Chain A
Amino acid sequence: MMDPETRQALFGYALRLGDTSLVLGHRLSEWCGHAPELEEDIALTNVALDLVGHARLLLAYAGEVEGEGRDEDRLAYRRDVLDYRNHLLAEQPNRDFGHTIVRQFLHDAWAVELYDRLAGSTDAGLAGIAAKAVKEVRYHVRHSGDWLIRLGDGTDVSHTRMRDALERLWPCTGEMFERDSAEDRLVAAGIAPDPAELRAAWNARVAAVLAEATLERPADGWMQKGGRRGEHSEHLGYLLAEMQFLPRAYPDAVW
């Protein structure tokens, strides 16, 4: 039997992962029908489908751990900005294909290391979800990494665009490796991996791909933080307003 503090920490942890997957999947789904080429339309939609799929599993699990009867849709559609726990990186707008790829790669490189370790979690629920997710995320990081290389080492125009996107999004990466007291508890129980360990693996992976893309790694300056505590950018409110419109407008309806 899990003690109440660990249970609460596990709920928050699953919520952060679920929200990050949902918000990023939502962003990618905005590309559907509008990508630079048909193959990429299909590929981006595939990744979006995987991410929303992970979000469903994680949010359903969070609701189960919480034990207050909230299901995946209740958590996705009836919480406002203050209660969302996704990374700031995930909510950044698509801007152009270059920003989308940079955002995706920086996330994927984190997610693949995370799920790889989380598959060995002492918590069977999380371990099961991670074991499924990691297989998909391995493809995602190949896809986004390949595009990062192509566009970084493509034309002068594409190189400049990728450099700018990298500089713009870099300050959102620090938050992915934060550790709070809830995570201390989970790490100690073998439920969650140590963020410091993730950071080392992420650094190595990012460095290798950036080198091949002929892009310089931006300096680790001031980092934007707060998404994990419900302190978000202006972008998330619009995303949620759009996503939640129907259940909010027709609260009694079942769809």
Chain B
Amino acid sequence: MYTQGLDGKAERGVQSSPGASPRLVSAEDLHFQERIDAEEKIEPRDWMPDGYRRTLVRQISQHAHSEIVGMLPEGNWITRAPSLRRKVALLAKVQDEGGHGLYLYSAAETLGVSRDELVGQLLSGKAKYSSIFNYPTPSWADIGAIGWLVDGAAIMNQVPLCRCSYGPYARAMVRVCREESFHQRQGYELMLALATGTAEQKRMAQAALDRWWWPSLMMFGPSDDQSAHSAQNMAWKIKRFSNDELRQRFVDATVPQAEFLGLTIPDPELRFDDQTGHYAFGAIDWTEFNEILKGNGPCNRERIEARRKAWDDGAWVREAAAAHAAKRSRRALKKAG
């Protein structure tokens, strides 16, 4: 699962942004943009502008980190899942996230960075991951809410990425999206069991919706007029729809689902607008989002600590595996020689 618009400066590419002074455009730049405009896929060995490469490395690695850190809040309930069926489903889901991380790191590696380097950036705090995972999962209903809302929002973002101009990323996303949509249905089904269960279960479900609703809307990133990456990324077809368009789609799809559950979305301004045919919703409080990006979310420290601990505790294992592999190849050489 992933969000857009996490950090940083806009990348400058072939077409400079409106108002900026015109740049010299090389023949390679022009040819590249023609290929993009013709919907051709860019492959690892193809020429590409540095900005395109940097943008993709940043986006794909942030996406990979988000999958890995995202294993933690859900992993929090694996040992406490309330039935064996739920336990197996949650284990399989968290494992899927690990798998997504693995092939996204591989996709990033096709752009000339190593996984170790990227993981190092995550552990040092230099690289960003999706802020949504800095929220806690205090109740079992959070597992349902994450599947329903967070994976639901991720799907809105990711389905267009299946048509991203960079081939390896687009192909990875096809599989990711298939699995995410399964997770989303699973999460909704979990919420349904709670919403139609005892009064205590329904209370858990409502409390989870109350906590996850606004953070899920924030997953789409800042409003279009505030978003640094949008114009260039649209031209490069890394991004196909604006943050606000995708957010609106998510709200339109999710409100009827909440109604079916008999749960209340925590937004007094939410209403269906007959004229636009869309749901209108209240203003997002970006102060909280920005604080979490700065590291002040409820779980920022825990998440990175958990990743660092796993990495540090595993150092002796990785060293031993490398030492053993070296011994084996020495023995094989000796035998052959």
Q: Which A residues contact B (CB, under 8 angstroms)? A: 22, 26, 29-30, 32-42, 45-46, 48-49, 52-53, 55-56, 59, 72-73, 76-77, 96-98, 149-151, 153-155, 157-158, 161, 242-243, 245-247, 250, 252-255
Alpha-carbon distance A29/B94, docked complex (angstroms): 10
A/B interface sample: 10 pairs, CB < 8 A: A32-B71, A32-B95, A38-B98, A45-B98, A56-B84, A56-B85, A155-B316, A155-B320, A157-B320, A253-B200
From known contacts A29-B79, A33-B71, infer whether A42 and B99 are also in contact, taking CB-CB under 8 Å: yes
A34: B residues at CB distance < 8 A: 75, 306, 309-310, 313
Contact in complex: B201, A250 (CB < 8 Å): yes
Alpha-carbon distance A252/B316, docked complex (angstroms): 47
Name the prevailing secondary structure of the A interface residues.
helix
User: Closest Cβ of chain A: how far from B135's Cβ, in Å?
Assistant: 16
Alpha-carbon distance A153/B313, docked complex (angstroms): 19
Contact in complex: A151, B317 (CB < 8 Å): yes
User: Closest Cβ of chain B: how far from A34's Cβ, in Å?
Assistant: 4
Q: Which B residues contact A (CB, under 8 angstroms)? A: 68, 71-72, 75, 78-88, 91-92, 94-95, 98-99, 101-102, 105, 140, 193-194, 197-198, 200-201, 306, 309-310, 313-321, 323-325, 327
A151: B residues at CB distance < 8 A: 317, 320-321, 324
A153: B residues at CB distance < 8 A: 324, 327
A29: B residues at CB distance < 8 A: 78-79, 87, 91
Please report the number of residue pairs spanning A and B whose Cβ atoms sit closer than 8 angstroms: 142
B194: A residues at CB distance < 8 A: 255
From known contacts A41-B98, A45-B94, infer whether A53 and B88 are also in contact, taking CB-CB under 8 Å: yes
Contact in complex: A157, B83 (CB < 8 Å): no
From known contacts A33-B75, A242-B80, infer whether A48 and B314 are also in contact, taking CB-CB under 8 Å: no
User: Closest Cβ of chain B: how far from A27's Cβ, in Å?
Assistant: 9
User: Closest Cβ of chain A: how far from B76's Cβ, in Å?
Assistant: 9
User: Closest Cβ of chain B: how far from A97's Cβ, in Å?
Assistant: 5
A72: B residues at CB distance < 8 A: 84
